[in-house]
Amino acid sequence: MLLKPYPDRALPALARVVSDVLTLAWMVPWALAGLAVYQSVMALEAIADGITSTGRTFNSWIEAIRSITPRGVPYLSNFLLDEANALQRASGDQLVALGNQVHGDIFQAAVILGLMVAVPPIVIVAVAYGSWRYRDMREMGAAMQFVRIAYLTGRAEQARAVLAYRAISSLSFRQLMRASSDPVGDLAHHRYDRLASAMLERAGLDPFRLPPGEMPQLEAHQETG
First to last CA, the chain: 24
The pLDDT of residue 215: 43
39 contact partners, CB below 8 Å, separation of at least 6: 110
- How does the average pLDDT of the chain come out, rounded? 82
Residue 104 maps to a domain: yes
Instruction: Tell me, yes or no, whether 130 and 157 share the same domain.
Output: no
Is 19 in the same domain as 114?
yes
pLDDT recorded at residue 129: 95
pLDDT value of residue 125: 94
How many Å apart are CA 29 and CA 67, to the nearest integer?
Answer: 57
Q: Do the domain assignments include residue 142? A: no
Is 141 contained in some domain? no
Domain count, the chain: 2
More confident residue, 16 or 87: 16
- For Cα atoms 221, 204, 152, give the angle at the middle one, nearest 5 degrees: 10
pLDDT score of 49 more than 50: yes
In a domain, 143, yes or no: no
14 assigned to some structural domain: yes
Is residue 130 domain-shared with residue 53, that is, in the same domain? Answer: yes
- Asked whether residue 178 falls in the same domain as residue 99, the answer is no
Same structural domain, 181 and 91: no
Once rounded to an integer, what is the mean pLDDT over residues 75-83? 58
With a cut of 70, say whether residue 120 has pLDDT above it.
yes
Do 109 and 1 reside in the same domain of the chain? yes
Predicted pLDDT of residue 216: 43
**Domain of 78, in residue numbers:** 1-136
Looking at residue 43, what is its pLDDT? 87
For 132-183, write each residue's pLDDT tens digit: 999 999 999 999 999 989 888 888 889 999 999 999 989 999 988 999 999 9
Report whether pLDDT(30) > 90. Answer: yes
107 domain residue, yes or no: yes
